Amino acid sequence: MMLRGTDLQADPAAATASLAAEAALLEGRLSQLREAIHTVDARIESISETLRRLRHTPSGSDDGGPRSGDTDDAGPGHSATRHH
C-alpha cells in the first residue's frame, strides 16, 4: 500500500520502506516486460525468416516470377491474397 504524502514526510523510515517495496515491484515488472519483448522479437525474427524462405521458393512457373494474384507488399494491415 502506498503511503500518503503527509505520512511519508512524517516517517522517513516508512517512506524508505514504501519506496523500496515499490521499486522491487517495478523491477519485477520490468523483468517481465523485457522477457515479453524478447519473446516477441524472437517470434518476429522467426516469421520474417519464414517469409524470406517462402519468397525464394520456386513458384512452379516457367519464368520463376510471382504467382498470379500474389503481391510482395500489400501494405500495412492488408494481407497479400492469392486468387485460386
CA distances from 60 to 23, 34, 64, 69 (A): 59, 43, 7, 14
Instruction: Count how many residues are written for the chain.
Output: 84
- 8 Å CB contact between 74 and 80: yes
pTM over 0.85: no
In terms of Cβ atoms closer than 10 Å to its own Cβ (0-12, 13-18, 19+), residue 15 is middle
Q: Which three cell numbers stand for residue 7?
A: 505520512
Q: What is the pLDDT of residues 29-83, one digit of tens each?
A: 999 999 999 999 999 999 999 999 999 988 644 444 555 454 554 444 544 444 4
Predicted confidence at residue 62, as pLDDT, reads 47
Predicted confidence at residue 83, as pLDDT, reads 46
